[in-house]
Amino acid sequence: MRSFRRLLVLTGGMALVGAVCPPANAQINSSLGTVVLNATVTESLSVTVTGGATVNFTLAANTAANAGSTTSTIQTAWVVRPGRTRISLWAWVPNGAAALTDGAGDNIPASAVTAAAAGFGSAGGALNTVASGGAGVPAFITPAAAAGVQIGQIHVTGANRASNATTTLTWNIDTTVVPQLPAATYTGTVNIQAQATP
């Protein structure tokens, strides 16, 4: 009888286990859905004058050193594609014979105006260092009377394709270039522009 009870308990326990455990079912997966991701980084090159957008001079006649009232700070930023090898920065005027004028025919030529550059790989110089159409001169330095100077340059590598640089310009006007410059107020605009090559 004891064996019979044990058999009953064992059979009842197995029936209970069979009733509690659900039957095993295989998993089912859905079909494959896809999402296409497209991303574009646009090539860009910008120049911003962040300080010293207006520079004043008190000129002494027939004097080489007539410093500007402040320096100019130029921020150049770029994001370029692979294959670009150089970013260059230029200061230029549309008329090399009259970088500044009094409007009455008296002019201060680009050869008398110097932009000494620091911080971006070029020393700068007189605004007539290059002439429009010259070898290696960017096409944006126009018209034919235009003149300028390179004030910055950096070689582009894989490590600086998206970067920026700051250039500080120290200005001077040499009035010995125009020893008979009459007393007047002279104004002019210097363009600052960058180029990525090739």
Tell me whether the omega of the peptide bond preceding residue 138 falls within 30 degrees of 0, making it cis: no
pLDDT bracket for residue 17 (50, 70, 90): low
Residue 13 domain-assigned (yes or no): no
Domain span holding position 75: 44-197
Q: Please check whether residue 70 lies inside any domain of the structure.
A: yes
Q: Could you tell me where the beta strands, DSSP code E, fall in 66-126?
A: 72-79, 86-93, 100-101, 107-108, 113-118, 124-126
Question: Has residue 157 been placed in a domain?
Answer: yes
Residue 193 has what pLDDT?
Answer: 98
What mean pLDDT do residues 107-128 have?
A: 96
Q: What is the dihedral of CA 174, 175, 179, 185, to 10 degrees?
A: 160
Distance CA 93, CA 188 (A): 8
Give the pLDDT band (50/70/90) at residue 7: low
Give the number of domains in the chain: 1
Residue 168 falls inside a structural domain? yes
* pLDDT given at position 157: 97
Residue 169 lies in a domain: yes
32 lies in some domain: no
pLDDT reported for residue 29 = 95
4: in domain: no
Residue 15 lies in a domain: no
The contacts of residue 80 (CB under 8 Å, 6+ apart) are 43, 45, 87, 156, 161, 162, 196
Give residue-wise pLDDT tens across range 27-46: 999 999 999 999 999 999 99
CATH number at residue 97: 2.60.40
CA distances from 69 to 16, 72, 95 (A): 98, 10, 23
For residues 114 and 140, what is the distance between their CA atoms, to the nearest angstrom?
Answer: 20
Instruction: Report the pLDDT averaged over residues 147-166.
Output: 97
